[in-house]
A = this chain, B = another copy of it.
Amino acid sequence: MSDLPKHVVMIEVGPRDGLQIEPRILTTDEKVKIVDALADCGIKQIEVGSFVNPKAVPQMADTNEVFDRLEKRPGIRYRALWLNPKGLERALANGHVDMDGKLTLTASETFVKRNTNRSIDETFEQMPAWIETYRKAGIETDTLGVMAAFGCNFEGYIPEEKVISLIARAKQIMADEGCTLRNLSLADTMGWGSPGQMKSLVGKVRDKWPELVLKLHLHDTRGCAVANAVAAMEMGVAEFDASVGGLGGCPFAGHKGAAGNVCTEDLVFACGEMGINTGIDLDALVEAAKMTEEMVGHVLPGKVMKGGTLTRWKQQHA
C-alpha cells in the first residue's frame, strides 16, 4: 500500500447530492444546521446546494437562502452546483458561494442527452463560452468533471480509451482558451465501478497526466464504494466526494435502484484505521449523521453511525 496518501480530503456532498433525492424537503433552517454541523467536524469543503431548475429539483429551490443564512467560517469552501449559464449567474449573484471554474462532461451519449439535453459534441462546443463566462466573473477554469466515467445504465461499460480521449479533448479546449486543467474529477455516477476498474482507469490517467489532482465521486449502488475508494487511494487519489450517513441512498423512498455517495463517516473511519489523516472528528461526524437521519425521517445506510467508532480504543492504543 505504498502509494496510500498521508492525507485525504473529503468533499461533503450530502446537502446537495444526498438531499436532492430525499422525498421530504428539508427546511432552510435544517439545511443550515446540517452544513454547520459538518463544518464543526472539520470538513473543509461542503457542497451546500445547487442552482438548478426548482421545478425539476424542488429539494434545492432554497439554495440561495441557505447560502444567505450560513455564517461562513474561515478555511472552509462552501461550494455549489450549476448546470447552465443561468444557474451560474444565480450562484454568482448570491455572493456567498465559493466558486469553482469547472467544466463537466459525460462519458455516455445517452445519459448526457437525458440529463442535459445536449450531445457530447455539443458539450464540448459550449466549453469555450463557459470558460469565457467564468473569466468575466474573475474565475479561472481549471477543473474538469467526467460523469459516468465507469459505466452507464443506458450504455453499459464505458471503455477507458473513450474516457481518456474525452479528457484529452477537454484539456485541449481549455489550453486553446488559455486555461490549464489542474483538477480532474472522475464520477461513478451510477455505481458501476469496481476496485479493479478504479486502479485501471486511475492508473491510465496518472500515467498520461501525472500533474493532475484527481478526485473520485463514488456511489455505493452495488456495495463497492468504500472498496473503490481504498483502491483509488492505493493509486494515490486523495480527494473524495462523500455524503454524511450515505445520504442519497434511500431504499424506502421509491428510488429503489439509486444509492447514495460513499458514506463520509465510513470512509473517514477506513482512512483513520489505515493511518490516513482526514482532519475530521469522526465522533462529531457520527452525531451529524444521526441528526441528518432524524431530519430526513428514515434510516440512512451509513454503517459506522450504527456500529460505532473505535475512537476511544484508538486513544488507548496511541
Chain A contacts to B: CB under 8 angstroms: 1, 151, 156-157, 191-192, 194-197, 199, 220-224, 226-227, 229-231, 251-252, 256-257, 259, 263, 266, 269-270, 273-275, 299, 301-304, 306-308, 310, 313, 316-317
In the complex, the answer to whether B226 meets A306 with C-beta atoms within 8 Å is: no
Chain B residues lying within 8 Å of A220, measured Cβ to Cβ, are 303
- With the chains together, A306 CA to B246 CA distance in Å? 15
Nearest Cβ in chain B — how far from A85, in angstroms? 34
Q: A196-B273, A275-B196, A307-B191 are in contact. Are A302 and B223 (CB under 8 A)?
A: yes
Chain B residues lying within 8 Å of A221, measured Cβ to Cβ, are 303, 306-308
Q: List 9 A-B contacts (CB under 8 A).
A: A151-B313, A156-B313, A220-B303, A223-B270, A223-B303, A223-B307, A227-B270, A230-B230, A257-B307
- With the chains together, A224 CA to B272 CA distance in Å? 12
Using A157-B313, A227-B270, A257-B306 as known contacts, list a sample of 11 further A-B pairs with CB atoms less than 8 Å apart, ordered by residue number in A.
A191-B307, A197-B273, A222-B303, A222-B310, A223-B263, A223-B269, A223-B304, A224-B266, A227-B230, A230-B230, A256-B306
Chain B residues lying within 8 Å of A306, measured Cβ to Cβ, are 221, 251, 256-257, 259
- With the chains together, A266 CA to B220 CA distance in Å? 11
In the complex, the answer to whether B151 meets A195 with C-beta atoms within 8 Å is: no
Chain B residues lying within 8 Å of A257, measured Cβ to Cβ, are 306-308
In the complex, the answer to whether A310 meets B256 with C-beta atoms within 8 Å is: no
> Which B residue's beta carbon lies closest to that of A263?
B223
Chain B residues lying within 8 Å of A196, measured Cβ to Cβ, are 1, 273-275
In the complex, the answer to whether A269 meets B156 with C-beta atoms within 8 Å is: no
> Which B residue's beta carbon lies closest to that of A153?
B308
In the complex, the answer to whether A270 meets B156 with C-beta atoms within 8 Å is: no
Nearest Cβ in chain B — how far from A266, in angstroms? 3
Nearest Cβ in chain B — how far from A148, in angstroms? 13
> Which B residue's beta carbon lies closest to that of A231?
B230
Chain B residues lying within 8 Å of A195, measured Cβ to Cβ, are 1, 227, 230, 270, 274
- With the chains together, A1 CA to B1 CA distance in Å? 11
- With the chains together, A252 CA to B302 CA distance in Å? 14
- With the chains together, A313 CA to B109 CA distance in Å? 16
